[in-house]
Homo-oligomer: A and B are copies of this chain.
Amino acid sequence: VPRTPERPRGCGVVTLLTDFGLDGHHAGVLHGVILGVNPAARVVDLSHGVPPGDLAHAAWSLLWSRRFFPPGTVHVAVVDPGVGTPRRAVAASAGGQLFVGPDNGVLSFALADAGDARAVSLPVSAGPGISATFHGRDVFAPAAARLSLGTPLARLGPPLADVVRLPRPIAARRPDGAVAGEIVAVDRWGNLVTSVTADDLRRAGMGPGSVVRVGRRVIRGLRRCYGEVAPGEAAALVNSNGHLEIAVNRGRADERFAAGRGTAAVVSRR
């Protein structure tokens, strides 16, 4: 795994993405475990607010975040409804970063995006010190800490060829030239993030005059930012992660359009 020259060995960044919430001590304990193994690690809470068990939410978050972290960063994602069952545990390298989590697809968008993923299977012994219900603490955090110290991936377990992949909605070009996608995420402000990317729009020749249909509602024009429309008005724009998004300036698009994950979003020339 490549490392930036200015980052001394062992001072790497470790990010945490979980559905633990912040009301309990579960997220904080991960910091303790990591700092116990690697006192110089920089542990960053990417988010602990993944809706409980929501693998797709976490997979998108990781995909959209990873490129803003330095080379060598170790990303830990623990959304793990199957903890303690025979589901496998995985550590992987991809795109110059490292990834650790349950083998249930939570890492798969990020791994697929990087293109050069290599994975190993983390041993999950049920021995002393390994609970059957908190592998974030007992399996994933220790593995991440070791990786942040520079331990080679291959040292953590045998190669794993068939990492579980989560189905990923991808926009499709329709015969009439339209780009047909769907809403894949709703953010804190009620903005509707679609599976349609800036690349999809470019390839289909869409531009400022294009029209977006969300369910049965129509939004005319592609904007550049929320403030380009008056407060209370809807805007379709390419968001900061390169995805088409439908927003209401200073309002909530999810409520306005009664839309959520899975709702169809179609872009056409007019």
B61→A24 contact, CB < 8 A: yes
- Chain B's closest residue to A29 (CB) is B68
Interface status of A99 (Cβ within 8 A of chain B): no
- Chain B's closest residue to A67 (CB) is B32
| Interface residue SS majority, chain A | loop
- Chain B's closest residue to A73 (CB) is B32
Interface status of A46 (Cβ within 8 A of chain B): yes
Give Cα A175 to B50, complex, Å.
46
- Chain B's closest residue to A45 (CB) is B28
A7 proximity list for chain B (CB < 8 A)? 39
A53→B188 contact, CB < 8 A: no
Interface status of A112 (Cβ within 8 A of chain B): no
Q: How many residues of A contact B (CB 8 A)?
A: 65
Number of copies: 3
Query: Could you tell me the distance in whole angstroms from the C-beta of A132 to the nearest C-beta in chain B?
Result: 4
A82→B47 contact, CB < 8 A: no
Query: Could you tell me the distance in whole angstroms from the C-beta of A232 to the nearest C-beta in chain B?
Result: 12
Contact of A49 among B15, B24, B131, B187 (CB under 8 A): B24
Contact of A47 among B27, B43, B227 (CB under 8 A): B27
Interface status of A151 (Cβ within 8 A of chain B): no
Binds B, one of A133-141, A200-208, A210-218: A133-141
